[in-house]
C-alpha cells in the first residue's frame, strides 16, 4: 500500500471479491448483488440506503426498511460475514438520551442512516422528521440493542448528515446538505462543527455540483476514511434527465485539518446505475452509498450502496486505487 489509512482497524473478515480480470473500472460490483433483497423481512417493501460497521469481530448495522404501508423506519441488523444479514423485524425504538429533549425528539420517520464509531459509542445520524419536515436526527448505541435519541442537529430542511470518525481541532464534525421539503432540485455539501454533538455551528461550504453527472445536487455518502493524503470521501451526485433523477457516486479528498478544503475531486462518477437492480425498482436509476468497511492493513474497501431505492448492493475498491484515480482525474 502506498497510501496509509490513519486511525483505521484491521478487518480481515470483511467481504471481498478480487477485481475481475476484464474489469477496467476503479470500483467493481459483488457478483452476488443485490446482497440484501427487498423482501428479507416479511413486512418489508424495500431495504436500501443502509449503514454497516465492524462490531465485536463481526458486523452490525442500521438499515433503512420501508414497509408495505411505505413507512420509512430504521432497523438494527447483525451479520457474521457482512453479506448475510439478520435484520430485526421490528424497528429501532429510541430511548430519550436526555429527559429535556422529550418534546422535540419524537420519532417521525427514519431514512438514509449512517453509523459512525467515535470514542466509545456508535453514533447514528439519519433523516428524521421534525413536524413531518426532514432534518438530521442524531442518536447513539453501544450494543445495537438499546438506542438513545439526542437533539436533532439542524433545522429542517436538511438531509445526508454524515459524521467524521474523530474530533478535528477538538470538535465533532458533520456534513449535511440543506434541502427542501420535496425532491430538492439543488444541493451543496456543507460542514458544521460542534463541541458536544448538540450545538452545531461554524458552518463551512465544502462543494457544490460541478460536472454533468452531478449537475443537479450532491450529498455526502459513507463516513470519511482518514488517510495520509487527507479524508477520502465517497459522495453521491445527481443528474436530471428526461426520465428523472439519476444518482451516481464518486469520491473526493479533503484536507485533514480543515475538511471543508477540497484537495482533489474526481471529475467522473465511479459507479453509475447500469445493472438491472440499480435501474429497476421503486425509484429507477439510483446508486446511493451510505457505508464502507475499510481494512487498514490491506487498504481494501467494501462499499454498501442502495440500489433503485429497493435493495442493497456491495462494491469494492482499494484505498490506493481510488486515491490514485481521484488525484489523476481531479476536476479542481
Q: Enumerate binding residues for ligand BMA (CB under 6 A).
A: 49, 111-112, 183, 247, 283, 286, 288, 306, 309
CB of 302 to ligand BMA, least distance (A): 20
CB of 236 to ligand BMA, least distance (A): 8
The number of C-alpha atoms within 13 Å of 302 and in the hemisphere containing its C-beta is 25
List the beta bridge partners of residue 152: none
Q: Which of residues 112 and 214 has its CB atom nearest to ligand BMA in the complex?
A: 112
- Report residue 102 as a C-alpha cell: 422529550
CB of 324 to ligand BMA, least distance (A): 29
Q: Which of residues 284 and 330 has its CB atom nearest to ligand BMA in the complex?
A: 284
Which of these, 322, 170, 167, lies nearest to 251 by C-alpha position?
A: 322
Q: From CA 1, how far away is CA 12, in angstroms rounded?
A: 16
CB of 137 to ligand BMA, least distance (A): 14
Dihedral sign (CA 235, 165, 163, 190): negative
Give the end-to-end CA distance of the chain in Å, rounded to a whole number: 25
DSSP assignment of 18-57: PPPTT--SSSEE-TT--SB-TTSSTTEEEEEEEEEEEETT
Q: Which of residues 29 and 216 has its CB atom nearest to ligand BMA in the complex?
A: 216
Q: Backbone dihedral region of 330: left (phi > 0), alpha (psi from -120 to 50 degrees) or beta? A: beta
Q: Which residue is nearest to ligand BMA (CB)?
A: 283
CB of 208 to ligand BMA, least distance (A): 17
CB of 73 to ligand BMA, least distance (A): 13
User: With b meaning 16 or more CB within 10 Å and e meaning fewer, what string describes 267-298?
Assistant: ebbbbbbebebbbebebbbbbbbbbbbbbbeb
Q: Which of residues 152 and 193 has its CB atom nearest to ligand BMA in the complex?
A: 152
Q: Which of residues 29 and 217 has its CB atom nearest to ligand BMA in the complex?
A: 217
Q: Which of residues 78 and 245 has its CB atom nearest to ligand BMA in the complex?
A: 245
Q: Which of residues 4 and 274 has its CB atom nearest to ligand BMA in the complex?
A: 274
Q: From CA 237, how far away is CA 288, in angstroms rounded?
A: 9
CB of 243 to ligand BMA, least distance (A): 13
Amino acid at each position: 500500500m502506498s497510501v496509509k489509512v490513519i486511525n483505521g482497524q484491521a478487518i480481515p473478515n470483511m467481504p471481498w471479491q478480487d477485481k475481475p480480470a476484464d474489469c477496467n473500472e476503479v470500483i467493481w460490483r459483488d457478483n452476488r448483488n443485490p446482497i440484501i433483497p427487498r423482501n428479507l423481512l416479511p413486512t418489508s417493501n424495500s431495504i436500501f440506503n443502509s449503514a454497516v460497521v465492524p462490531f465485536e469481530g463481526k458486523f452490525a448495522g442500521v438499515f433503512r426498511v420501508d414497509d408495505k404501508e411505505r413507512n420509512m423506519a430504521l432497523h438494527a441488523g447483525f451479520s457474521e460475514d457482512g453479506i448475510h444479514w439478520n435484520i430485526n423485524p421490528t424497528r429501532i425504538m429510541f430511548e430519550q438520551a436526555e429527559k429535556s429533549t422529550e418534546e422535540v425528539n419524537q420519532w417521525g420517520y427514519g431514512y438514509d442512516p449512517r453509523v459512525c464509531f467515535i470514542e466509545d459509542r456508535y453514533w447514528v445520524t439519519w433523516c428524521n422528521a421534525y413536524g413531518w419536515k426532514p432534518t438530521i436526527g442524531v442518536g447513539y448505541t453501544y450494543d445495537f440493542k438499546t438506542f438513545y435519541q439526542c437533539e436533532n442537529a439542524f433545522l429542517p430542511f436538511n438531509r445526508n448528515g454524515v459524521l467524521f470518525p474523530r474530533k478535528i481541532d477538538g470538535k465533532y464534525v458533520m456534513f449535511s446538505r440543506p434541502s427542501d421539503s420535496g425532491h430538492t432540485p439543488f444541493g451543496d455539501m456543507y460542514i458544521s462543527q460542534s463541541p458536544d454533538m448538540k450545538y452545531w455551528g461554524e458552518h463551512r461550504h465544502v462543494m457544490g455540483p460541478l460536472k454533468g453527472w452531478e449537475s443537479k445536487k450532491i450529498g455526502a455518502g459513507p463516513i470519511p476514511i482518514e488517510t495520509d493524503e487527507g479524508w477520502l470521501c465517497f459522495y453521491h451526485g445527481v443528474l436530471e434527465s428526461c426520465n428523472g433523477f439519476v444518482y451516481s457516486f464518486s469520491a473526493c479528498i479533503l484536507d485533514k485539518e480543515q475538511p471543508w478544503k477540497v484537495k482533489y475531486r474526481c471529475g467522473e462518477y465511479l459507479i453509475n446505475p447500469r445493472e438491472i437492480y440499480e435501474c429497476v425498482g421503486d425509484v429507477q436509476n439510483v446508486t446511493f452509498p451510505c457505508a464502507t468497511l475499510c481494512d487498514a492493513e490491506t487498504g481494501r474497501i467494501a462499499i454498501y450502496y442502495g440500489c433503485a431505492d429497493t435493495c442493497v448492493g456491495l462494491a469494492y475498491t482499494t484505498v490506493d486505487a481510488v486515491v490514485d484515480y481521484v488525484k489523476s482525474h481531479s476536476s479542481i
